[in-house]
Amino acid sequence: FDSNELDSVFVGLSSVDPEHVGKGVIQKVYGRCQQDIIDWEKREGTRLLLWATTFNRATYINATRLFPELEPDEHKDYTEYPRLALEIAKAIRHLHYPRCESLSDNPFVLKGVAKGVSPEHAAKFNLFKKLDVNPEKGDRVLMILQRPQHLKTG
């Protein structure tokens, strides 16, 4: 990865009107997104990298259901992350959030990049504690996603 370019897409994570919660709307949207990824990868002959940011536990959990290879993995220590995931996170953070580089050594941590959320909306989540992410202060977690290997392009 050091000098190679990767095609990547920022995935703007979604929310749904309360009357549609629990009806599978988001899963349908991301199911279509996965099909678009498969079509793109088949056409281009390479894997597509997706990335997103979050302060929300539910968003993180749902993302892991759709993209089980998501990094950072809440069950791993920072030192266990694959080198490639770390390099990709560093590159994205450097390009899109350069001032965060001096605020945290962990490339998956984006300090103060967004408007803070109220305490009742700030997720109490072990991963956020482990990474020292405080949503109330505008911190976000950078997530690296790839199409699950079991979804074939051919």
In the block, tokens 């993180």 appear at: 60
The band of 149, judged by pLDDT with boundaries at 50, 70 and 90, is: low
Distance CA 70, CA 48 (A): 13
* The two three-digit tokens of residue 107, written as one number: 């490339």
Q: Rg of the Cα trace of the chain?
A: 16
> How much is the pLDDT for 53?
87
Q: Average pLDDT in the 39-68 region?
A: 85
- Compute the distance between CA of residue 43 and CA of residue 37 in angstroms, rounded to an integer: 10
The whole-model pTM stands at: 0.76
In this model, does residue 150 exceed pLDDT 80? no
Q: Average pLDDT of 96-123?
A: 79
What is residue 79's predicted lDDT score, i.e. its pLDDT? Answer: 63
Res 43: pLDDT: 92
Identity of residue 130: K
Mean pLDDT value across residues 53-57: 85
- Please report, for residues 38, 61, 149, 151, the alpha-carbon distance to residue 26 in angstroms, rounded to integers and kept in the order given: 18, 13, 21, 19
Query: Could you tell me the sign of the dihedral formed by the alpha carbons of 124, 129, 131, 134, in that order?
Result: positive
Question: Contact, 143 vs 60, CB < 8 A?
Answer: yes
Element (H, E) at 49: strand 49-54
Token reading at 71? 């990094």
Give the model's pLDDT for residue 4.
57
Per the omega criterion (within 30 degrees of 0), is the bond before 135 cis?
Answer: no
The mean pLDDT value of the chain amounts to 79
Q: What is the pLDDT of residue 67?
A: 82
| Residue 56: pLDDT band with limits 50, 70, 90 | confident
